[in-house]
Structures are given as C-alpha cells and as structure tokens.
Amino acid sequence: MQPKHRLLARQLMGRSLAELPPEWPGFLQAVDEAYQSFDDDRMLLERAMELSSQELVEANTELLAASEDRFIATFNRAAVGLALGSRTSLQTAHCAW
C-alpha cells in the first residue's frame, strides 16, 4: 500500500512497508483516508468562509451606499428647510417694517 496523502507519505518516508505487521496496511489505509477526508473538509470550510466573506463585503458595500444616500437626502432636506426658513424670516421681518 502506497499512501496517497503527502503527509502520511512523508511520515512513512525511509520506512520499509514490507517490514510492517500484516494488520498495518489496513490501518495505514484508514489513516490515509482520514487525512484525505480532513483535507476535503478543510477545503470545503475554507470555500464556505470565502463565499460568506464575499457576501458580507457586498452587503456592507450596499449598506454603506444606502447610508450615504440617506445622509445626502437628509442633508438636502435640512438645507432646503433652512433656506425656506431664512426666506420666511426675512419676509416676516420685511413686512414688519
């Protein structure tokens, strides 16, 4: 049995597999499969985290744009209100004269 996973192959480097007890090839096969399964799970988790991160960045960008739009709209309404209020105050002051 030649291990497929490079970590197991590195761990067994320099050891003769022919000298192992008869039950060891099955054990090594199980270890090899466990290492591969762990790597597969880790890659799946990393991919899921990358997708989640991208989605969060997109959502944050959309929220920031919406927040800026609301700020600008609020500022513009306030500026118009101040301008109208100033004009009304001037007209009232002019009429009082």
- Is the pTM higher than 0.85? no
User: How confident is the model over 56-62, as a mean pLDDT?
Assistant: 96
> What integer pLDDT is reported at residue 42 of this predicted model?
97
- pLDDT score of 58 more than 80: yes
| Mean residue pLDDT across the chain | 84
Show contacts of 28-37: CB within 8 Å, 24+ apart: 28/1, 28/3, 29/1, 31/3, 32/1, 32/3, 32/4, 32/5, 32/8, 35/5, 35/7, 35/8, 36/4, 36/5
